[in-house]
């Protein structure tokens, strides 16, 4: 019922009952197919891991953005409170004739720090 030729048989063997389906003739064909099957399995694993890695990378990216937003909000609140505290300190300790000068210098320092931070962040996002 089995063919004894040199060509590999591509059709599946149908067994009836307890007959063995593999013969000594099938062994070389299985050995030839095994490396291709292993490389196909590695390719499938690589494509699965790339898909999972891509999703994992996206999740890490979103978490990083969420942490960045939380830190920006925290820094904004702290910055506003710091700005108010420095303004009150200037009003309390600096005489009236120099208050506008101190407020201007402090506002310029805050503006320069903000501009440097914005510039740095724009470079990070665009590269």
**pLDDT exceeds 60 at position 22:** no
Q: Which residue has the tokens 């009150």?
A: 88
**Buried b / exposed e across 31-60, counting CB within 10 Å, b at 16+?**
eeeeeeeeeeeeeeeeeeeeeeeeeeeeee
**pLDDT exceeds 60 at position 10:** no
pLDDT at 77: 94
pLDDT in tens, 25-43: 555 554 454 445 555 555 5
The residues near 73 (Cβ < 8 Å, ≥ 6 apart) are none
pLDDT at 126: 83
Cα–Cα distance between 51 and 54 in angstroms, integer? 5
pLDDT at 85: 95
pLDDT at 36: 52
pLDDT bin (cut points 50, 70, 90) of residue 57 is confident
- Count the residues in the chain: 127
pLDDT at 123: 87
pLDDT bin (cut points 50, 70, 90) of residue 118 is confident
Cα–Cα distance between 40 and 36 in angstroms, integer? 6
Coil, strand or helix: which one is 12?
Answer: coil
**Residue 94 DSSP symbol:** S
pLDDT in tens, 65-116: 888 888 889 989 999 999 999 999 999 999 999 999 999 999 999 999 988 9
Q: What is the pTM of this model?
A: 0.49
């Amino acid at each position: 019922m089995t063919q004894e030729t040199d060509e590999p048989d591509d059709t599946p063997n149908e067994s009836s009952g307890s007959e063995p389906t593999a013969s000594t003739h099938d062994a070389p064909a299985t050995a030839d197919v095994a490396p291709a099957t292993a490389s196909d399995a590695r390719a499938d694993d690589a494509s699965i891991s790339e898909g999972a890695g891509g999703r994992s990378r996206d999740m890490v990216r979103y978490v990083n953005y969420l942490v960045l937003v939380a830190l920006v909000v925290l820094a904004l609140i702290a910055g506003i409170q710091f700005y108010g505290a420095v303004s009150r300190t200037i009003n309390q300790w600096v005489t009236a004739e120099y208050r506008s000068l101190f407020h201007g210098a402090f506002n310029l320092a805050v503006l320069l720090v903000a501009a440097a931070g914005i510039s740095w962040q724009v470079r990070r996002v665009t590269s």
